Amino acid sequence: MSIFIDQQTRLVVQGITGRDGSFHARQMIAYGTTVVAGVTPGKGGQRFDDTVPVFDTVAEAVRETQANTAVIYVPAAVAASAIFEAADAGIPLIVCITEGIPVLDMTRVLPFVHERGARLIGPNCPGLISPGRSKVGIIPGNICRPGRVGVVSRSGTLTYEIIHQLSTQGWGQSTCIGIGGDPLIGTNFIQCLSGFQADAETDAIVMIGEIGGTDEQQAAEFVQQTVTKPVVGFIAGQTAPPGRRMGHAGAIISGSSGTAAEKMAAFARAGIAVMKRPADVVPLLRERM
């Protein structure tokens, strides 16, 4: 099994005719994802690569193709509008790859999406992949292999590194999810952990956090109270100085709660095996399985 996406995923790509949208649409199609439509206002009626129909609106795409998932590759200035449009069209899963969306925009987006019963992953994220089933976003399919380890991460590039460490040592993945590193995101650690806990084909979980905020501490408490499967964790930014933003907009230490040391201590208290470096992931999984 997998969480959030599978062989039944029918994907609409918002911004499919743009540079990033077209490149990654081809990658997703090559991986085997069922891309049923693209959306670019003003280009309705065209076909992307002579196969995928392009529509002016998401509502048209859903009506004609029964799309049930949207992925967004549009500039930050219009990304919030793209999320609004997808949610309003009844898309239940929306994945926003775009980075640089203003926090003020997200304060309007999140309640809108929630009111319509949709799930948003991102923004500023690499998306997700269920190896051998479906890929929505930019996670490279060639580093993944099907298996029984769930991966959830705030960091895009560290997601790839952890997946590579797992795959090269024979540990396949059930689903890999990049939730994004912005201060306001649609899907958090706890929601992903809950999904993995309920998934009969996920045997262990790898959680990759980073400095800033308290999401990792809350996730650790959830693991301690609810998760029965082995969890291995990593915190990026262990050498970051206080007050310095490291990579992501949300990765800034304010007080003691956002430090790597505090988050790693919270992991340890919750029984989460803590990696000191990404290469530790497989040895720690072996110890716990």
Catalytic residue numbers, as ranges = 248
Helix ranges (H only) for 169-271 are: 189-198, 215-226, 260-269
CB 277 within 8 A of CB 284: no
What angle separates helix 189-198 from helix 215-226, to the nearest 10 degrees?
Answer: 20
Distance CA(36)–CA(52), nearest Å, equals 6
Residues 6+ apart with CB under 8 A from 257: 213, 214, 217
Backbone angles phi, psi at 123, to 5 degrees: -80, -170
